Structure 1
Amino acid sequence: MRTISPKSETFQLQLLFFVFAIFIMAWVPRFPEVKANLGLSNGQFGTLISTGTLGALASLFLTGHIVHKFGTKIVILANTFLMSAALISIVQTKSPTLFLIFNVILGWGISGYHIAVNAQAFNSIERVKGLTIARLHGMWALGALTTAVLSGLIVSYVGLALHIGGVAVIMAVLIFISVNKLNPVLVKPNEDSEEHLPIRTLFTSFRVDWLVSGGLLCAVFLEFATGDWSAIFTKERIGVSAGLAALPYIFFMIAMIAGRLGANRLSQIFHIHHTVRFLSFAGGTGFIVFLALAVNIPSEHKYWALLATCLAFTFAGAGSSLLAPTFYTAGNRRSALPSAVVVGQMGVVNNTAVFILKACVAWTAEFSGSLAIALVIPALMLIATAFFAKVLKVD
């Protein structure tokens, strides 16, 4: 029987997180081109992008139970196929209607993969010493940074469809190879009738841990807003080239990676709830201060404005770094349900709220005429994360 060493298991699991980020984030720095292709305003584009949440919600509601019944392998591979097909299609269409359909499919695929790979991560942590959710999410951030840098370098030389289509195919192949190597330790289909979760438990077992869900929402929304709006803000408001417009997102991801990969050292020095309070307050406040500075610098000094924008998103990345994996870990610790179901249920609440908040940010930008004002909303939410930190205390 084929086996896999803990070292190899750790590497392959980190690779699944790393590749996942490249897969779904490669097109983010090219959002200005996607928006131009569709001929939409900021409000219209922001609302259309948020429709991916519809597919994500359906996936989050069902996939935890699917993972429990069929195992992680089939779920990861099936959703990899969905993401590939949706991304290849979405960057070629100029029809908002088709974009909406493909975006809903993409949302389903992303959430399905997210649940399955995190369920596998919680399973592996029980066996592999030193493996943490923060480190795995750090590898995700490293993948997002890698694809942001590459996108910034090639945006002027490689067409949108060729770039994203090529990434989708290559990443899908890497995922299939990695899943095959991990096969001996992947979560297997449930064969114990006593642990079976019938379809009615989709409703009867659904529980909302309001402290964990509220903290997670406040913690991650600035990350969502950064992905959606940083390149558009930098290109349209600051007035730099498409290549330079990716810089704030890159700085955001560098700060996030540093925080997540350094999580173990921080946890040995400070209590996690104190760390979360400090990071959320410093990250949100720093973001607001430097963003305000950026929009008040005269247009003839746009590179100084670009620097201030990069500093704003650096504070945001550092402040957000540990928060999401920390709240996911707390949610899993506080529930008796399988980890895949817990991740899915947390995602249902989170994505429902994100769907509404994304539209709020988009239309705040539309009606106020200022994307900077709209971005204050997720910054204030990041600061508010401090009020949920008590749920992270471990007795």
Structure 2
Amino acid sequence: MGRAEKQALAAMFGLFGFGVMTLGPRMPDIKYNLGVSNGTFGVLLSSGSIGALISLLTMGHIVHRIGVRSVLVFSTIMMYGTLAIMVHLHNPVIYLILNLMCGASWSSYHIAVNAQAFHRQKDSGQTIIPFMHGFWTAGALGSAIVASLVAQTIPITWHVDTLVTVDFILTMFVIYLLRDVLLQGREITDSDGVVTLKDMAKSFKIDWFISIAVLCSQTLETMLGTWGSIFAREEIGVNASLAVLPYIFFMGGMIFGRISFGSLSKHWSEQWLIRIFPLVGGLTFAIFMYTGYLISKNHQFLGFVIVDFAFLVGGVGISFLGPLFLAIAGRRSDRPSGVIVAEIGALNQFLNFAAQVVLAWTIHLIGLPMMLVIPALMLAAVTFFAAAGKA
């Protein structure tokens, strides 16, 4: 695998992270435009998980027929097209439909670009998946930083429309650069992480232990992507630009944790890492986030600093759990890794949808700050799944 190809593929991941996370930091503006309650807003956003699930169940067959390039082009057009339209909407029903389409296109792009990366990793013998996912995280972090710089002065429509247009043009250009190496349908195998619904149905088997562990380890990240900026803006009372900072600290913590995982795994076992990191990350987030919220009522700056610290530690605690549990799932089964990943992905899209809806409506009963404690405790509970790792 040449350097130019590796850089171009990394750019695909980075642009993906930058573009698809554009709306995350501006969720307070989206919620205001739609004029809905927290519970209704949570239901609207969770429709993206349904779209992603539909894509996950059908895209394997489509990629096998038309190849990676066609899927990437179609997904890019739909994904950035829906993002550009959604920031102009005031009708919740239309937003729900477009968010479902956006979730489906996001999942399609994810499946196609990861299939390309897995295949090239296998052909080249180079371990490139962590590198590629690191670029995705860096892109998402860059998107949050841009939002922090412009949220106070530039309307959401100008901000998002400009960024997704630039991201769309650059993505299509990189797809063109990779046109000769992007996989044809006949070249794709189960080991590339692309599985048809028919293949999945033949041997569908739920590993509940790992599936629940993945759900508990990912729910906090999902909820903070939606509610982090809303929490800072509505509950702490900071301005639109500062409201993005907690999420930036969270993503920074995730990057630090993933970078450090290689060296940490040389000194401590998987079981120790799974036992300690989510426990410390989850409890620290819950305690410091809620403490910062209470302090902010009388000392806003101090409370906000404490909240930022909570988000940072939470990001470190969650950083490597998802990829690690998928690797563990592969070791626990004698079936192709692509089938296992597809099964866990499909089940967790459904579980994630249910969790988002329940937690969003929980806000009406206990408030947003206390609701965020729940996914933090779910993260801490991952410590009980440590037995799955290597001793």
Same fold per TM (> 0.5)? yes
Report how far residue 94 of structure 1 moved.
0.4
In the superposition, the TM-score normalised over structure 1's length comes to: 0.91
Q: Which residue of structure 1 aligns with residue 281 of structure 2?
A: 283
3-state SS in 2 of match to 1:37: helix
Report how far residue 192 of structure 1 moved.
9.5
Q: Which residue of structure 2 aligns with residue 309 of structure 1?
A: 307
Q: Which residue of structure 2 aligns with residue 377 of structure 1?
A: 374
Report how far residue 164 of structure 1 moved.
1.2
Measure the CA separation in 2 of the matches of 1:250 and 1:93.
26
The aligned runs of 1:36-75 (5 Å cut-off) are: 36-75=32-71
The aligned runs of 1:81-96 (5 Å cut-off) are: 81-96=77-92
Number of residue pairs matched by the alignment = 388
Measure the CA separation in 1 of the matches of 2:7 and 2:236.
40
Measure the CA separation in 2 of the matches of 1:240 and 1:73.
43
> Are 1:393 and 2:390 an aligned pair?
yes
In structure 2, the CA distance between the partners of 1:301 and 1:16, relative to structure 1 (3 Å rule), is same
3-state SS in 1 of match to 2:179: helix
3-state SS in 2 of match to 1:157: coil
Measure the CA separation in 2 of the matches of 1:291 and 1:194.
42
Q: Which residue of structure 1 aligns with residue 136 of structure 2?
A: 140
Q: Which residue of structure 1 aligns with residue 335 of structure 2?
A: 336
**Contact 1:297–1:305, Cα closer than 8 Å, also in 2:** yes
For residue 96 of structure 1, what is the amino acid of its counterpart? P
Q: Which residue of structure 2 aligns with residue 255 of structure 1?
A: 253
Report how far residue 387 of structure 1 moved.
2.7
Q: Which residue of structure 2 aligns with residue 176 of structure 1?
A: 172
Measure the CA separation in 1 of the matches of 2:227 and 2:195.
40
Bigger shift: 189-198 or 266-275? 189-198
In structure 2, the CA distance between the partners of 1:28 and 1:194, relative to structure 1 (3 Å rule), is closer
Report how far residue 53 of structure 1 moved.
1.4
Measure the CA separation in 2 of the matches of 1:76 and 1:193.
17
Q: Which residue of structure 2 aligns with residue 323 of structure 1?
A: 321
Unaligned runs of 5+ in 1: none
For residue 28 of structure 1, what is the amino acid of its counterpart? G
Q: Which residue of structure 2 aligns with residue 206 of structure 1?
A: 204
Report how far residue 249 of structure 1 moved.
0.2
Report how far residue 91 of structure 1 moved.
0.8
Report how far residue 17 of structure 1 moved.
1.6
Measure the CA separation in 2 of the matches of 1:198 and 1:252.
35
Report how far residue 373 of structure 1 moved.
1.1
String of CA shifts for 1:292-331, please: whole Å, max 9, x gaps.
Answer: 2112215231111111110111111001111112223334
Measure the CA separation in 1 of the matches of 2:213 and 2:2.
32
3-state SS in 1 of match to 2:147: helix
RMSD: 2.4
Measure the CA separation in 2 of the matches of 1:267 and 1:393.
11
3-state SS in 1 of match to 2:154: coil
Report how far residue 73 of structure 1 moved.
1.9
For residue 255 of structure 2, what is the amino acid of its counterpart? I
The aligned runs of 1:143-222 (5 Å cut-off) are: 143-190=139-186, 200-222=198-220
For residue 92 of structure 2, what is the amino acid of its counterpart? P
**Contact 1:134–1:261, Cα closer than 8 Å, also in 2:** no
Measure the CA separation in 2 of the matches of 1:278 and 1:387.
10
Report how far residue 132 of structure 1 moved.
4.2
Measure the CA separation in 2 of the matches of 1:87 and 1:193.
31
The equivalent position to 1:297 in structure 2, one of 295, 298, 321, is: 295
In structure 2, the CA distance between the partners of 1:287 and 1:153, relative to structure 1 (3 Å rule), is same
In structure 2, the CA distance between the partners of 1:243 and 1:79, relative to structure 1 (3 Å rule), is same
String of CA shifts for 1:194-215, please: whole Å, max 9, x gaps.
Answer: 9998764353243323233222
Report how far residue 338 of structure 1 moved.
6.6
Report how far residue 184 of structure 1 moved.
3.8
Q: Which residue of structure 2 aligns with residue 235 of structure 1?
A: 233
3-state SS in 2 of match to 1:336: coil
**Contact 1:133–1:329, Cα closer than 8 Å, also in 2:** no
Measure the CA separation in 2 of the matches of 1:291 and 1:276.
22
**Contact 1:139–1:257, Cα closer than 8 Å, also in 2:** no
Measure the CA separation in 2 of the matches of 1:272 and 1:116.
30
3-state SS in 1 of match to 2:205: coil
Percent identity for Structure 1 against Structure 2: 36
Q: Which residue of structure 1 aligns with residue 351 of structure 2?
A: 353
Q: Which residue of structure 2 aligns with residue 107 of structure 1?
A: 103
**Contact 2:288–2:306, Cα closer than 8 Å, also in 1:** yes
Measure the CA separation in 2 of the matches of 1:89 and 1:65.
29
**Contact 1:42–1:366, Cα closer than 8 Å, also in 2:** yes
Measure the CA separation in 1 of the matches of 2:293 and 2:197.
52
In structure 2, the CA distance between the partners of 1:125 and 1:379, relative to structure 1 (3 Å rule), is same
Report how far residue 269 of structure 1 moved.
2.6
In structure 2, the CA distance between the partners of 1:282 and 1:180, relative to structure 1 (3 Å rule), is same
> Are 1:29 and 2:25 an aligned pair?
yes
In structure 2, the CA distance between the partners of 1:8 and 1:275, relative to structure 1 (3 Å rule), is farther
**Contact 2:144–2:248, Cα closer than 8 Å, also in 1:** yes
Measure the CA separation in 2 of the matches of 1:388 and 1:12.
37
**Contact 1:115–1:343, Cα closer than 8 Å, also in 2:** no
Report how far residue 384 of structure 1 moved.
2.0
Measure the CA separation in 1 of the matches of 2:321 and 2:36.
33
Measure the CA separation in 2 of the matches of 1:13 and 1:267.
27
For residue 102 of structure 2, what is the amino acid of its counterpart? L
String of CA shifts for 1:107-136, please: whole Å, max 9, x gaps.
Answer: 101111112222222222224455343332
